[in-house]
Amino acid sequence: MSTITTPPFLPMLPSGRVPYRLSVEKYEAMVASGVFTKRDRFELIEGLLVAKMTKGRMHSAGSVKCRQAIERLIPAGWHVRIETPVRIPTRDSAPEPDISVVRGDADDYLDLDPGPPDVTMVIEVSDSTLEADRAMVPTYGGGGIPVYWIVNVKDRQVEVYANPVGGAYPAPTILVEGQSLDLIIGDQVVGQIPVADLLPRRF
């Protein structure tokens, strides 16, 4: 069983102080009750409320290119979601990845956000957030998400984490411009995407 730890990008508390952790269910109840406003940009990570980071233009361009590349290949029975919650109850988390590929269609999740049985992959586009995105590896892997891509805009490469074993991903595969990634949806390779197609153009 995976051990739930505080993500390293969160501030350390004074000695002896323990943060109050929320379950996914408590967090969802707070959202439903209207406790948070549109100005409150949080997501639940390992039981703690974490402020969402501001997106820059390079990040935004990378997110759009990732979505377009996946939607060209995605088979029937799956759809792409943008910055919407993924329920990971075993990690007390409801992150909102830049992109998730989810079974069914949007109307299937009007009552409950998709969780690991429904989510075949998540993607974070990293411009200035690489440390935070890597800190999500235990959350996604420990929560049973089959595939996690970090699209590293600055270094122009993609880190592929896949097939978690015992609650953890093996070491990532790093692919660079000039190489292509297998797009695996529902345990099937449905096509290949050049790394360059996921990255904003160079200036």
* Mean pLDDT, the chain cut into blocks of 10 residues (203 residues total): 43 64 90 80 89 86 96 97 96 96 97 96 93 95 97 96 94 97 95 96 72
25-59 confidence digits (pLDDT tens) = 998 898 888 887 767 788 999 998 888 887 889 99
Token couple for 186: 């529902």
The answer to whether position 148 is within a domain reads yes
Q: How far apart are CA 30 and CA 126, in angstroms?
A: 29
CATH number, domain of 192, equals 3.90.1570.10
Specify the number of domains making up the chain: 1
Letter string b/e over residues 131-163, b meaning 16 or more CB atoms within 10 A of that residue's CB: ebbbbbbbbbbbbbbbbbbbbbbeeebbbbbbe
| Host domain of residue 71 | 24-198
The answer to whether position 3 is within a domain reads no
